[in-house]
Amino acid sequence: MLKYRISSIWKTAGEVKIFRVIPLGNKLIYKPGQFVMMHLLNEKGESLDRRPYSIASEPDSDYLEFCIKMIGGRFTSKLDLLKEGSIVGIEVPMGMLSYEGDKCVLICGGTGIAPIMSMVRDIAKKEKKGDFFVFYSAKKKDHLIYYDELLSLEKKNPSLKLVFTLTREEPPAWPGKCGRIDEALLREFIVNPKEYNWYICGPLEMSSSLRDCINSMGGDPKKIHLEGWG
């Protein structure tokens, strides 16, 4: 377990807080899209509790970034009390939600943006060429985490194509879509599903439903990768 110090905390969309942590010793080596176990520590540096969280930063960053919804649970109620300078433990990276190839569809809902953001930042920084579609669903526009940064990254790299959709409001002059991510929406943008690698992160019901949807569209089951919770 590596020790990291919280360097900054800020509140963003909904009840989400973004934490940046910097290493006190060795830096974590990970792939974009992976997750880690975050540990709350006692005064002796021993683990009190742990939870898995996806990394939102890209691997070349000097810090790790997490976007975590403060749901008032056993872990988050304690995490919510931490201040800048607090120390947390970080376990080795896990998970296989890391993009490959130059034709990828990245789909997320809510805080499921975290591993997708890591991939998008990596694609933009390395100026990757290809077709990289990002479908991001949230209840309301102000619940879209990283909205402005995503738009900026899309402008910098034309290989990135963003599709935002809102499920519980239709704001005036909203340039995105409304409704859930479904087969009809995916077919508007994806011509040949079999050519793409698919990466999905969101509530378990959403992730499972989208896997079935992609299969019915003719996507390759071996190219569908997902993570879900709940």
For the stretch 123-160, pLDDT in tens is 999 999 999 999 999 999 999 999 999 999 999 999 99
pLDDT band at 51 (very low <50, low <70, confident <90, very high): very high
Q: By C-alpha distance, which of 39, 191, 208, 194 is closest to 109?
A: 208
Q: CATH 2.40.30.10 in the chain, residues? A: 2-90
Q: Which two tokens stand for residue 203?
A: 């509530």
Q: Which two tokens stand for residue 157?
A: 């790299």
Q: By C-alpha distance, which of 123, 127, 71 is closest to 100?
A: 123
The secondary structure of the chain as a DSSP string is: -EEEEEEEEEE-STTEEEEEEEESSSPP---TT-EEEEEEE-TTS-EEEEEEEE--S-TTSSSEEEEEE----TTHHHHTT--TT-EEEEPPPB------SSEEEEEEEGGGHHHHHHHHHHHHHTT--SEEEEEEEESSGGG-TTHHHHHHHHHH-TTEEEEEEESS---TT--SEES---HHHHHHH-S-GGG-EEEEEEEHHHHHHHHHHHHHHT--GGGEEEEEE-
Q: What is the average pLDDT across 54-73?
A: 96
For residue 24, pLDDT beyond 80: yes
What is the rounded distance in angstroms from the CA atom of residue 152 to the CA atom of residue 170?
Answer: 23
pLDDT band at 230 (very low <50, low <70, confident <90, very high): confident
**pLDDT number for residue 125:** 95
What is the rounded distance in angstroms from the CA atom of residue 195 to the CA atom of residue 155?
Answer: 24
Q: CATH 3.40.50.80 in the chain, residues? A: 103-229
Residues 6+ apart with CB under 8 A from 47: 1, 39, 40, 41, 89
For residue 219, pLDDT beyond 80: yes
Query: What's the CATH code, domain 2-90?
Result: 2.40.30.10
Rounded to two decimals, what is the model's pTM? 0.95
Q: Which amino acid is at 129?
A: K
Domain 103-229 CATH assignment equals 3.40.640.10: no
